[in-house]
Structure 1
Amino acid sequence: MTSGDAGFGEIARAMAEALRAGAGATASGATLQLRYTGGAVSCRAWSDAREHLSVDYVPIAMLLREHPPSALEVRLDAEGYVFTARPDVASVSPGRLVFDPEFRYPGHPRPGLPRPAAAEPSGAPTDPAVRAEVTRLTTEFADVYTAVKGDPPPWPPGRTEADLAAAEARIGVRLPEDLRALYLVADGDPRESGLLGPYSHDPLGELVERYLDGEPGSHGWEDEPDDTGVVFETPPFGHVKRLSRNDWWVTFGSDRSGDYLAADLDPAERGRPGQVLEYGRDIHGPVRYVSASVTAMLTEVVEALRAGKYEEEPGEEYLIPETGLREDPVRSYSEVLSHPAEVAGLPGRELVQEVHLNDAGDVDLAAFEPLESVRALSVNRAGTVHPAIGGLGVLESLRIGAHRVDLAPIAGHPALWDLALTDVGTPLDLTVLRTLPRLTRLSLERSAVPDWGPVCELPGLRVLKLDRSQVPALLTSGNPLPRLAALFVSGRTTLREMSELRAAFGVPEGEVTEIRGVLP
C-alpha cells in the first residue's frame, strides 16, 4: 500500500535539503539513503559525478525517533526530489531482504533447547558438602583479605535458600550447587574484592533480570543471515557444545569491562555441568573455557593467596591473585597464511579452525589436509584454485576469490554449508552444487555464471548473495526462484529495485510512503 505524508513530510524535506547541501553543483541525480533501526541511523549518499557525498544527517536522525524502523531514500532531479520510506526493506546499498526472520544457520539454535535434568528447579537446599567447601574457601579468602587490608571484604550479606528457590522458579533453572553456595555467602561482589580473581559475581537479582532479558540464556552472536555464521569449537575440544547461544548458559558475573562469566548447565560430552565460560568484548571466535566450576575458581584463588602470589594496591579494596583464570589459550583458533607450504610448520595446528590464505597464486586446497579441525577456509586474490577439500571433513565454510575455480573436487562434501565464489572471471559450472547435501548459503558476487538453473534447483539454499548486475540474469533465467530466507545484493541499489525484488520472490508489498516535493 502506498500512503501520502504519513508523518514523513518534514523528514523528506530535511533529507532533500541536506543532500543538496552535500552535493553542491552535482545535486541533480544525487541519492541519499538512510537506514533507521529504531536505535541507530546509517547513511550512504552519492551522485552521478561523485561516488561518495558527505551529508549532515544528525538532525534527521533526531526526527526519526518517533517513527518505526525503516529504509528511507531521497533522490534529487530537475523538478525537485522524490522521497520513499519502507519499513519492510531492511536496508539498501547494499540491498538486504530478509524473508524469514526466524531462520538460523547451523549451530545457531532458537530458544527452546531441552532443559538438562540437573537444571530442573527443585527448591531443595544447597548440597551440604558443596556448601561447606565453598564456605571454607571464602572464609580463607576473607581471613587473608582482612589481614592484608585491615578490614573484611566489602561483600553484601548473603541470600537465603528461600531467595535462591524463588529466583530459580522465575528463570526455570536450578543454579549449580557451588554458585548457590556462593550466593549464600555474599549477594555479589560489586566492589571487586578479587574473590573470583579478575572477575566478580553479580547480585542474584541482576542474574535473574539478565537471564530473562530477551532470549533466555546467554551470549548469542552472529545470529543474523548476513553474519559469518560459522561456530568454532572451544578448547579444550569436547567440553562446550558448539553453539552460538544456549538457553542453559547462565550469566552470573563479569570483569566489569565488557566480558562476562556464564555457568554452563548443558555441557558437551567431556564437560561437566557448572563449568564456567567467558564471552564478551575481548573474546573473539568461540566462547572461552575458564574453569571446571566456581569451586575450582575459588580454589585457584585461595591457593595463590596461600603462596603469597598476589598484588595489593594500597587504598584499593581488591587483591589481585596471580591465577591462570585469564590465561590466553595455547594458540588462536584463526591463522593467516601467504602460502600453503606454511601449514607444515604451524605450531598447534590441530587447534586451527579458520584459515585465510592471501595472494598465493595457483592453489590446491589439498595442502590444508593436515589442519584436521579447519571449519572455515578463505582463499583471497588467487589465480587458479583446485578445491580438493575431501580431506577436510569438518569444513563448513569455503570462500574463494580467484580468476578460475574448478568446482568438481567439492562434489559430495558432507559438511559444507557456506560457499562463496567471488570475482571468478572464468565461467563457473555450478552443476556440482547439487551434490552438496548441506549447502545453505551461496555467494556469487562478481563471478561469471552462464547458467542459473543449478542455483535455482538447490533444495536447501536459504541465503543468496549476488551483485546488482546478476539479479536481472537470475530473474529472467526462466527458472523457478529458490525459496530463500534472505537475499543480499551488493553495490548501489534503490528502494524501487529492492521493492521489485520482494515482489519477484512472492512477498506482498507492505506500507510505502512516497512524497514528491520541490526545493526553493
Structure 2
Amino acid sequence: MAQILGYEEALPEPASEEDLAAVEKKLGVVLPPDLRALYGIADGDGDLVNPLFDRQEWLPLSEIGDQDDEWLDIAREWQYEPWRQTVFDTQPPNTVRRSPLRTGWIRFAFDTGGNWLAVDMDPGPNGRPGQVIKVGVDYTYGPTYVADSVTTFLRRLVEALERGDYRRHDKSLWIDADLPDLPGEHSIYSDGGPSLARAMQAGSRVQEARVVDVEDCAFLAAVPDVCSLALSSTGSPDLTPLGGRPVEYLELDVESPDLTVPARNRELRSLSVTCARPVELAPLRTLPNLWALDIAAASVADIATVAELEGLRYLEVTQDQWRELSELDGLPPLAVVGVHPHRPERDWPSSTDWVTIFDELPSPTA
C-alpha cells in the first residue's frame, strides 16, 4: 500500500508475549495463531494513513475487549420492539452462531461507524475457530461471514492490490477484494401474487417473509429456511403448510386463526395474533420455547390459558385483557407487560410509543 501511495508508513512496535497473554487472560479466550502472530509484528495500525484491514482500523491490544456496546442496548429499546426481531443465519449456513454479539467474538478492527471485524472463537457447527466475521450496528439481524481466517482475509487484500482492484481516495486506498460486507438479502415482502412467484424463482435463501392478501400458504414449500413469518389475509387460510418450517417469530392477521398447526412448531418463540373472531390459545400450552405473546389486537376465547404458559416472559395485551388476567392466580413470571389502552391498529413496520414503568406490574385500572 505504501508503494502504491508513494510514501512510507511505519507500523508500531510489536506486542510482547506478556501483553498477549494478559489480553487472553482478560478475554478468557486464546487468540487464533495468525492474529497472535500479526500482533507479534505490530501492535495495531498506529498512525497509518491507510489501515491494514481496508478502511477498518486495526486495534491495539490495549483496546481489545473494551468496546462500547451502546449500539446493542439501543437496538433492544422498547420503541424498536425487539421481541419481533429475529437474528438470521449467515452464508454459508451454520458457520456463525445466530446472535448479534457473543463473548467468543473478539473484535480486532473498527470501521469508526459502529461495526467491527472479529475473530470468531465460538463458531457454528459448520464454521472454524478463528474465522473472520463482521458485527455491529449494521448487523443486529445477524453477523456476516467474511473469511475462514485472518490469513485468508489479508491474502485476499494483497491479491486485489496486485490485480489493481482498488481506488485512490484522498490519501488512502479503497480495496475491492470482493469480500462479503453487509448482510445478504434474506427477506421477501409480497402481495401474494406474481411478485411472490418472482421472489421464489430468484433462488435466494429467504429467512424472513411478509405476505399480504394470502389465499394459499402453499408458497411456504419454497422457503424451507423461513424463521420470521408474517401472514395477512381477509379470510382464514389453511396454515397446514406452516408445519415443518423453522419459524421462530410468527405474526398472523387473519379472520379466524387456528393455532393448532403453529403449536406443533417447537421452534416458535414469539407469536403475534390479530383477528376478528375469537381465537383459542389452548394449543399454545404445548410450545416449550414460547416466551413472547402479543394478543392486544385479538379477540380471545380462553384468555385464562395465559396463566398456563409457564415459559412466557413478554406479554402484550389491551387494558381490558390485562384487567381480566390480573384477577387470575399463578400468572407466569413475566418480565415485560405491554398494555394498550384500546385494541391497537396494526401497521408495519410495527412501532408503538410506550410509557415505561420499571419494577412494578401495570395497574389494571390505569
Q: What is the TM-score when the length of structure 2 is the normalising length?
A: 0.83
1:193 lines up with 2:50 in the alignment: yes
Residue 486 of structure 1 aligns with an amino acid whose one-letter code is V
The alpha-carbon deviation at position 386 of structure 1 amounts to: 3.1
Deviations 1:373-410 (A, max 9, x none): 00010124644343324444311111112333233333
- SS of the equivalent of 1:426 reads strand
Partner of 1:179: 35
CA contact (8 A) 2:263 2:287 kept: yes
Partner of 2:160: 304
CA contact (8 A) 1:220 1:244 kept: no
Deviations 1:176-207 (A, max 9, x none): 11111222222222545142223231111111
Partner of 1:255: 111
Distance 1:439 1:413, change over 3 A: same
Q: Distance in 2 between matches of 1:404 and 1:452?
A: 16
Note the 1:311-460 alignment, pairs <5 A. Answer: 311-313=167-169, 316=171, 318-327=172-181, 331-339=184-192, 342-346=195-199, 347-349=201-203, 351-358=205-212, 360=213, 362-380=214-232, 382-422=234-274, 424-460=275-311
**Structure 1 residue corresponding to 2:334, chosen from 484, 494, 500:** 484
The alpha-carbon deviation at position 445 of structure 1 amounts to: 0.8
CA contact (8 A) 1:193 1:319 kept: yes
**Structure 2 residue corresponding to 1:230, chosen from 57, 66, 86:** 86
Q: Distance in 1 between matches of 2:91 and 2:175?
A: 24
Distance 1:498 1:404, change over 3 A: farther
Partner of 1:136: none
Note the 1:461-500 alignment, pairs <5 A. Answer: 461-476=312-327, 478=328, 480-491=330-341
Deviations 1:393-429 (A, max 9, x none): 311111112333233333422211211102x111112
Q: Distance in 2 between matches of 1:186 and 1:499?
A: 49
Q: Distance in 1 between matches of 2:85 and 2:195?
A: 27
Partner of 2:144: 288
Partner of 2:349: none
Q: Distance in 2 between matches of 1:357 and 1:435?
A: 27
- SS of the equivalent of 2:63 reads helix
Q: Distance in 2 between matches of 1:447 and 1:309?
A: 56
Q: Distance in 1 between matches of 2:193 and 2:115?
A: 35
- SS of the equivalent of 2:264 reads coil
Residue 13 of structure 2 aligns with an amino acid whose one-letter code is P
The alpha-carbon deviation at position 266 of structure 1 amounts to: 1.1
Residue 473 of structure 1 aligns with an amino acid whose one-letter code is E
Gaps of 5+ in 2: 343-352
CA contact (8 A) 1:440 1:462 kept: yes
Q: Distance in 1 between matches of 2:64 and 2:15?
A: 13
Residue 443 of structure 1 aligns with an amino acid whose one-letter code is D
**Structure 2 residue corresponding to 1:266, chosen from 112, 122, 127:** 122
Residue 283 of structure 2 aligns with an amino acid whose one-letter code is V
| Greater relative CO, 1 or 2 (CA 8 Å, sep 6+) | 1
The alpha-carbon deviation at position 257 of structure 1 amounts to: 2.4
- SS of the equivalent of 1:174 reads coil
CA contact (8 A) 1:221 1:245 kept: no
Note the 1:99-114 alignment, pairs <5 A. Answer: none
Q: CA RMSD of the aligned region, Å?
A: 3.1
- Give 1 or 2 for the bigger CA radius of gyration: 1
CA contact (8 A) 1:352 1:371 kept: yes
Partner of 1:276: 132
